[in-house]
Amino acid sequence: MDNVILTHTEINHKIRRIAFEIYENNVNETEVILAGIDSNGYILAKKLKTVLAKISNINPVLCKVSIDKKHPFSDIKTSIPAEVYKNKSLVLIDDVLNSGTTLIYGVKHFLDVPLKQFKTAVLVNRNHKKYPVKADFKGISLSTSLHEHVNVILEGKNFEAVLE
């Protein structure tokens, strides 16, 4: 049975709140890198960029982070070169924080470049971490069983997060 944990309206509210939190944490910055993990993390980063650009003077720069989730040790690719995010404030973004595997490998990639500040943002934090990674900005924290799955839909006319 599927249970809707976040409706379209609630997701939009969470995105707006996370954007304000990012702004508050970077109030003295002129630019923030929003590094979205490919597919839903990148879609979420694009939505955060739109809100951040409306509510602040910060120039949000999008970066797509491509991680092979089945083989996280393989090369991680970013859509912008390291020189662009060097010594900048960066937020690594994904839709759901499950075990922390994807985020920890994303974090590891960005540690090769000096950053001014490094934060993480997720829409749903599931509390099943096998790595010591946390979400600095999160839409909702959810205690779920290991056999349950959170599916987030961020495209189309009706966004939702569903527990399956």
Q: What is the pLDDT of residues 22-67, one digit of tens each?
A: 999 999 999 999 999 998 999 999 999 999 999 999 999 999 999 9
pTM for the predicted model, two decimal places: 0.93
147, pLDDT greater than 90: no
Q: What is the pLDDT of residue 94?
A: 95
Kindly calculate the radius of gyration of the chain based on its CA atoms and give it in whole angstroms.
15
CATH of 3-130+152-163, one of 3.40.50.150, 3.20.20.150, 3.40.50.2020, 3.10.150.10: 3.40.50.2020
Query: Span 89-101, mean pLDDT?
Result: 92
> What are the DSSP E strand ranges found in 7-71?
31-37, 59-66
Report the C-alpha gap between 96 and 77 in whole angstroms: 20
- Taking a C-beta distance cutoff of 8 angstroms, is the pair 35, 106 a contact? yes
Q: Find all residues with CB under 8 Å of 72, minimum gap 6, and list them.
A: 101, 102, 105
In terms of pLDDT, which residue wins out, 156 or 15?
15
Q: What percent of the chain has pLDDT over 70?
A: 98
Q: What percent of the chain has pLDDT over 90?
A: 66
